[in-house]
């Protein structure tokens, strides 16, 4: 019986408090809050890879070997053989002119 009588309307105190917040907020603040809810639009994307310090031969001409490893000689079943591995070629160390440290 108590559920049939109860309502889910907000109390008068809650609505008055929310209305006072809206009335007391300056229009600039309301406009700023609306702007903060929107998405940020990027005008143009800048390429920052030029200043990374990595030599171009390490980025563009790198060779990769993708393979499925052979089964162990002690393994007779087919468990744990359904995966692939990626091996990158090892390059010599180079010094980053921007940071002053050497790569590995």
Please state the domain count of the chain. 1
User: Is 31 part of any domain?
Assistant: yes
89, HSE (Cβ side, Cα atoms, 13 Å): 10
Within its chain, how far is the Cα of 54 from the centroid? 23
| Residue 90 DSSP one-character state | P
Query: Which residues of 1-104 form beta strands (DSSP E)?
Result: 64-67, 85-88
Range of the domain at 16: 10-36
pLDDT at 66: 92
pLDDT one-digit tens code per residue, 79-104: 777 889 988 877 776 666 666 666 65
User: Is 25 part of any domain?
Assistant: yes
With vertex at residue 95, the alpha carbon angle to CA 92 and CA 96, rounded to the nearest 5 degrees, is 130
Six-digit token string for 97: 């002119």
SS3 of 66-91: the string is: EECCCCCCCCCCCCCCCCCEEEECCC
Q: Average pLDDT of 58-82?
A: 80
* Closest among 89, 49, 48, 34 to 66, alpha carbons compared: 89
pLDDT at 82: 83
CB 84 within 8 A of CB 66: yes
User: Is 32 part of any domain?
Assistant: yes
User: Is 24 part of any domain?
Assistant: yes
pLDDT one-digit tens code per residue, 5-59: 655 655 555 555 566 677 778 888 888 888 888 777 778 877 766 666 666 777 7
| This prediction's pTM | 0.34
């Amino acid at each position: 019986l108590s559920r049939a009588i109860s309502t889910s309307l907000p109390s008068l105190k809650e609505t008055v408090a929310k209305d006072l917040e809206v009335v007391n907020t300056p229009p600039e603040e309301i406009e700023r809050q609306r702007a903060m809810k929107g998405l940020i639009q990027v005008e143009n994307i800048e390429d920052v890879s030029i200043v990374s310090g990595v030599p171009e031969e390490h980025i563009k001409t790198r060779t990769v070997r993708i393979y499925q490893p052979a089964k162990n000689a002690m393994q007779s079943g087919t468990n744990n053989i359904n995966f692939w591995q990626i091996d990158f070629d090892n390059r010599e160390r180079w010094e980053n002119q921007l940071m002053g440290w050497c790569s590995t």
